[in-house]
Structure 1
């Protein structure tokens, strides 16, 4: 156990120390404001305050963990070996940066509460982030900083046995619509036919009627392939099905269709299933509750996990809705168009509500890659290179790789050529670690 002496055991301090020490590094941490208790402790210990007590392991603190609400924070990014950090704390500290304050800034998504320019979907974009602007979006900096802290502790306490942690993979299969042509209803099918005719898409027209007349397989129905892959891996895939109402942003299938319900139940027999929350339910708690209850009716169990349509998050409202509905996990924390670490981490963390200054029970599982981001790489070789670099960066900190693919990614559509191979590369990466 690590004992931390500090002048004030604030909610922020408690939150971030437990994340770094317990969730990332795997050991227990406790706090004291009493010097006598600190001196008497005969194992791992450190002080985290403005001035060292003596010659102990000391990290000079920044003010952010002892503040409330939002403020103007001066952030000066500096190089630190093979990474970058901020909140430099001088030569007297055991490590040159206050990684606890920097990590809190990243995990709390402090910057997403501040004024920023949103994209057409109303989302916080990678380009607005400190990580993108400062050139460290590609690194799980919170985890890297944690391991630097661990190395410094090991040097000071060589007899302490630190626990081991292993790299893992959690593949996400996003299903905005399970089929390209099936179960679309008369009006949408007629509209699709007219669109194909007007744009002279003869192949699409042939495929559409082939599927509807049942002599062709729907191209986006890749569930047999995915379930077969699941059977041959030792970790569960997590599918997110959209069951919300048809809208400008969501073009799914009605959950009243028996064939669609049967598909969800069939997938749930082999994999984990969560709810892909529709775009308009993000800001409508009643609609969100209806979608949750409908999915629970289908699954015949409590809903555990959610993902937001188009990876849109409105902080803190979105997460507060999930908490009020007792959804335990969310998988939206990432950038759809950029590979990297939105919260600077590849370790799941609990949502900290900056307005209420409280750690919540909602677990945030950040994703680092969405399939569409790989389309920016021209060749399959380039895609593999980028993917292998990402895997290596997560393995280096024994993190959890959470890639997001879609059911149509595994279709025969030309733009997705080679993606089955990339998926296999990810699944096989666990055996190589």
Structure 2
């Protein structure tokens, strides 16, 4: 166990030390403000306070972990090896930065509580983030800092054996609409056909009637292919189905359709199934509760995971609703149009509520890439290049790679050409050194 001496054992301090030491590095951590207890400890130990006691492993503390609420935090970004960091400590500290305060700032999403410009869907955008502005969005800096901390500890405690962690993948299959043409009902099918006709989309019109008449396969129905891929890998896929009511933003399949219910049950036999919460559920706990109950009735077990439609997050309310409904995991933390690490980490972490100053039981699994972000790269070669770069970043810190693909990503259309190959690249990355 790593024992940390500090002048004040605050909720923020315990939260971030447990993430870096226990979740990232696999080492248990304890805390004390008694010098005698600290001196008597005969294993890993460090002081985290304003002034070094003697010649122990020491990191000078920033004030942020001992504050409550929000304040104007002065942040200056510095280079640190191949990465970047902030909250510089100077030479008296064993490592030159207070990585715990910096990690807390990123993990708590402190910057998302501060005034910022939202996009048309009310989302915090990558371009508003500290990581994007200073060029470290595509690095899991919290995990990189943790490994630099580990390296410094090993130099001072060479006999201590750190546990080993391995790279893993958790593919997300997002299903806003299980079918493009099937099970849409008479009115929606008629409206879609009319729109196709007036916009001269005759191929779509031909395909629509072919599917409705049972002569063609619905292009969005790629589930057999995905399940076959699931059978070939030890890592469980996680499907998120939209079962909310029809609206301007959510145009999925009617959740009362028996064939749709059968599809979800079939998928649940092979993979995990979570709820893709509808657009308006983010602002309305009663809508979210209704959708949760609906999904639990289909999968016949408690719902444990959710993901917000359009990757919308309204902190802290969005996460409080999930906690209130006893949903244990969220997969919304990421950027739709940018590859990278929104919270600076590729290790799942617990949500810290800055208003109440408590660590909550909700586990956040940040996603690092959505298929839409890869569309920005024109050639398949360029797509593979950026994909390999993000995979290598995560592998270097033995993290968890969470990519988001949609069921329609595997359609053999021009827009998504080559995406099956990219998905295979991700699945195979776990078997490579």
2: CA distance, partners of 1:193 / 1:216:
16
Deviation at 1:165, TM superposition (A): 0.1
Question: What SS is found at the alignment partner of 2:230?
Answer: helix
Counterpart position of 2:149: 149
Unaligned runs of 5+ in 2: none
Match of 2:360 in 1: 360
Q: Tell me the residue number matched to 2:40.
A: 40
Q: Which residue does 2:172 correspond to in 1?
A: 172
Equivalence for 1:351: 351
Matched, 1:115 2:115: yes
1:319 positional shift: 0.2
- Structure 1 unpaired stretches of 5+: none
What residue is the counterpart of 2:254 in the other structure?
254
Q: Deviations over 1:225-262 (max 9, x none)?
A: 00000011111100000000111111101110000000
Are 2:370 and 1:398 aligned?
A: no
Report the equivalent of 1:60: 60
Deviation at 1:92, TM superposition (A): 0.5
Secondary structure at 2:415 match in 1: helix
Deviation string 1:25-52 (CA, Å, 9 cap, x unpaired) is 0010000000000001111000000000
**Which residue does the alignment assign to 2:202?**
202
Once the two structures are superposed, the pairs formed by residues 269-348 of structure 1 within 5 Å of their partners are 269-348=269-348
Match of 2:370 in 1: 370
Moved over 2 A (4+): none
What secondary structure, in the 3-state scheme, does the structure 2 residue paired with 1:207 have?
helix
Structure 2 counterpart SS, 1:177: coil
**Aligned partners of 1:34 and 1:325: how far apart in 2?**
40
**1:254-309 CA deviation, whole Å, 9 max, x = no partner?**
11000000000000000000000000011110110000000000000000000000
Secondary structure of 2:270's partner? coil
* Aligned equivalent of 1:101: 101
Q: Deviations over 1:357-413 (max 9, x none)?
A: 000000000000000000000000000000000000000000000000000000122
Q: CA separation in 1, counterparts of 2:287 and 2:373?
A: 30
Q: What displacement does 1:187 show? A: 1.2
Give CA-to-partner distance per residue, 1:94-123, whole Å, 9 cap, x none. 000000000000000000000000000000
Instruction: Measure, in 2, the Cα distance between the counterparts of 1:196 and 1:325.
Output: 41
1:273 is paired with a residue whose SS is: strand
Structure 1 residue 202: Cα displacement: 1.1
Structure 1 CA distance, aligned partners of 2:177 and 2:414?
Answer: 19
Alignment partners' CA distance in 2, 1:208 and 1:157: 67
Q: TM-score with structure 2 length normalisation?
A: 1.00
The 1-side partners of 2:236 and 2:33 are apart by 44
Secondary structure of the corresponding residue to residue 415 of structure 1: coil
Displacement, 1:200? 1.0
Residue 425 of structure 1 is matched in structure 2 by 425
Report the alpha carbon displacement of residue 344 of structure 1 after superposing the two structures with TM.
0.3
2:190 paired residue number: 190
- Cα separation, 2, equivalents of 1:232 and 1:163: 28
Alpha-carbon RMSD: 0.4
Question: Normalised by the size of structure 1, how large is the TM-score?
Answer: 1.00
How many residues are paired up?
433
Q: State the match for 2:70 in structure 1.
A: 70
Alignment pair present for 1:91 and 2:91: yes
CA shift, 1:175, in A, is 0.1
Is residue 14 from structure 1 mapped to residue 14 from structure 2 by the alignment? yes
Mapping for residues 19-34 of structure 1, pairs under 5 Å: 19-34=19-34
SS in 2 for 1:292: helix
